[in-house]
A and B are shown apart, each in its own frame.
Chain A
Amino acid sequence: MKGSTKRPQFLEVVPLALVFIAAASVVWLSEADPARLHLQLSWAPPGADRLLGSGDAGVDLGLLAAHATFRALVLALVVASFGFVLGTSVGASAGLSGGGIERWTLRACDLVQSFPTFLLALAVLSAVRVPSRMHIGLVFCISAWAPFARLALAQTRSLRESQFVEAARAMGASPARVVFLHVVPNLLGPVAVQLGTAAAGVVIGETALGFVGLGPPDGVSLGSLLEQGTLGMLRAPHVLVVGALTVLCVSGSLQLASEGLRRRINQGL
């Protein structure tokens, strides 16, 4: 622990911030549409005009990678925050009411968490004609709340028995005051640790869905980028390298950031 205190704070978030800023600046600064095709440039290697080369049917790989990264990160952020809000409220209220509700909430978490996410996605997406990013986000939201709820429940259970809550009750604080002033603030830190893990899971899940052809129809997703790479493996290996490296950077930086968040919160406790 001694070594880690000398470390500059937030060092682990730097790669994620760099990836996000790079992707966002390309998205904001360049007017070009990532789905635009230039057939004569199909599978062209990297050059002065296009730094990362071109992919299937002449899409600009750099542009595609930036847009896909940006959208994946936004999706991950939205889904993880949704899971955080819903899961924390469900878990905390179940933990406070205790008894049967608590047991059933835990059962529900078990059920949702033991579901293979991929099958769930396939089952839900099979009902829509063309899966959009909204639908994909929805699929991840179905299962995103469970780990948060489980953490919040465990945390509430220990807070419920803690002395300062007992003291607050003894001083005549109303139940609402106890919940919002004493329980919830002490709950958020440990539950927030799960945010990074959830976001990384969403990015990888979205990539896998896009790779097997369940991605958004415009083809702007990390999975479609990777699929192009495997399709053109024999004639244009650079597409594969760009795709794999992009996925690696995004998920790796997210995992580093979540590790940093975990360390920081655990230190604060």
Chain B
Amino acid sequence: MSVTRADRAPDPHAAARGTPPAAARPPGSGVPPAVSVGQRVFAALKLLLAIALSGFLRALGALGVLVCLASLVFLALRLLPGDPAALVLGDQASEVDRALLRAKLGLDQPLWLQYVHFIWGLIRFDLGESLGRPGVSAYSEVMRALGPTAALAGTAVGLGTVLGTTAALACVGPWFGARREWVHRAVLAVAATPLLAFAPILTFIFAVRLRWVPLPGDPDSGAAGLMFAAGLLSLPLAAQVARIGRAALLDQARAKYLEVAFAKGASPARVWVVHALPVASTPISVVVAAQLGALLGGAVVLERLFERPGLGSLMLNAYAARDIPVLEASVVAAGLLFVVAQAMAGFVQAAVDPRGREL
């Protein structure tokens, strides 16, 4: 956005700051003139426009990612060597059966027509019936699986952010004294450990040995099962948040405004949480957004580990059974979940840090 000097005379921002341009000030009077309602509305509109524009561009990018992913699934199944019908039915199936299935999936049409049908189906939320469960649409299968996955991933994001921020505060605050270096080391250790190495071990300890949480595969594991799975999933995220949050807080530690707050007699908790944390929250939201893809992969792994229903289980089962409509629908749905979560993180970022709004 290029705004020339001439465009913004009289400068609405200057008016909002309460320092009117020198030319507008009547000579000899110390009282600034009242800011007109029109100027304020103009400034607010400009801000809204900037937010809307950046939101639009972000949505466009997210849509691009989604279309790429959908096209990739589509093309992978059709362009790579091998007959999808043979993949579904196996090598022993008769040629007639294969031809029937090809017709049912629309594989006998030219590629561009298939693609148009596919995209049109995506827009109408209709990718055909599940091959594994005839009569059930792929879309309804996905909708049923979306809830548990969203609950798992959402809880994990919330837990991870809170846990990581708390750990970051513990690393910089005075509460642990010299032992805060231990907190930092623990954070680094967790950050370096892959989820796959510690999730099964912790599950064994807490579910099999101590029996504190339901066993994997328990159909009525309920809230305890969800919390445990989400807690495991949140640990890598929490470690990253703590690492970056600590660095961001230490960056602020030397800032003058914290000294002022200390000098005014604020408690350490107040200084760090009320004054420093909001400034450090921008890098934290960046980390959370960057970790969303890994979180989604982790959710698939944990759904497998705990045999929980969800998008990951649906995808893997559809993959194993070569249920093409369900596979396409669930991969696109997972991509949608990912871009929506990323867009939300971007929105939070823009709300916290006004610099992100400038294009």
Contacts and interface: CB of A to CB of B under 8 A. Distances in A.
A214 B201 CA distance: 22
Nearest to A230: B200
Given A126-B77, A255-B192, A244 B200 contact: yes
Contacts, number: 122
A188 interface: no
Contacts of B293: 114-118
Interface string B64-103: 1100110011001101101010010000000000000000
A64 to B, nearest CB: 16
A244 B65 contact: no
A187 B290 CA distance: 26
Given A204-B196, A233-B204, A111 B297 contact: no
Interface stretch (A50-58, A172-180, A234-242): A234-242
A139 to B, nearest CB: 10
Nearest to B296: A116
B180 interface: no
Interface stretch (A19-27, A154-162, A246-254): A246-254
B304 interface: yes
A226 B305 CA distance: 10
A208 B76 CA distance: 21
A212 interface: yes
B65 A119 contact: no
Contact of A212 (B203, B316, B327): B316
B196 A240 contact: no
Nearest to A252: B192
A233 B196 CA distance: 15
A110 B289 CA distance: 13
Nearest to B322: A126
Contacts of A229: 200
Interface stretch (B38-46, B246-254, B331-339, B347-355): B331-339
A122 B304 contact: no
Interface centre among A229, A233, A245 (most CB of B within 10 A): A233
A244 B297 contact: no
A232 B68 CA distance: 39
B173 interface: no
B319 interface: yes
B296 A244 contact: no
B109 interface: no
Interface in A109-162: 110-111, 114-120, 122-129
B90 to A, nearest CB: 10
A213 to B, nearest CB: 6
A88 interface: no
A207 interface: yes
B181 to A, nearest CB: 15
B37 interface: no
Contacts of B331: 119, 122-123
B200 A243 contact: yes
Interface of B: 61, 64-65, 68-69, 72-73, 76-77, 79-80, 82, 84, 87, 192-194, 196-198, 200-201, 203-204, 208, 216, 292-293, 296-297, 300-301, 304-305, 312, 315-316, 319-320, 322, 327, 331, 334-335, 338, 342
Given A111-B68, A126-B73, A211-B304, A117 B197 contact: no
18 contacts: A115-B293, A116-B296, A116-B335, A118-B296, A119-B331, A122-B331, A123-B76, A127-B76, A211-B305, A212-B312, A213-B316, A226-B200, A233-B200, A233-B204, A237-B204, A244-B197, A244-B201, A247-B196
A129 B82 CA distance: 8
B301 A208 contact: yes
A212 B201 CA distance: 17
A207 B77 CA distance: 24
A211 B301 CA distance: 7
Contact of B304 (A212, A237, A245, A248): A212
A233 B307 CA distance: 14
B201 A124 contact: no
Nearest to A256: B192
Contacts of A213: 304, 316, 320
A126 B327 contact: yes
A39 B216 CA distance: 26
B65 A111 contact: yes
A252 B189 CA distance: 10
A233 to B, nearest CB: 5
B197 to A, nearest CB: 4
B263 to A, nearest CB: 34
B342 A114 contact: yes
Given A111-B64, A251-B197, A124 B304 contact: no
B300 to A, nearest CB: 6
A256 to B, nearest CB: 8
Interface string A252-269: 100100000000000000
Given A126-B327, A208-B300, A247-B196, 17 more contacts: A115-B65, A115-B68, A115-B293, A116-B293, A119-B335, A126-B73, A127-B77, A127-B79, A127-B82, A127-B84, A208-B301, A212-B301, A214-B319, A247-B194, A248-B193, A252-B193, A255-B192
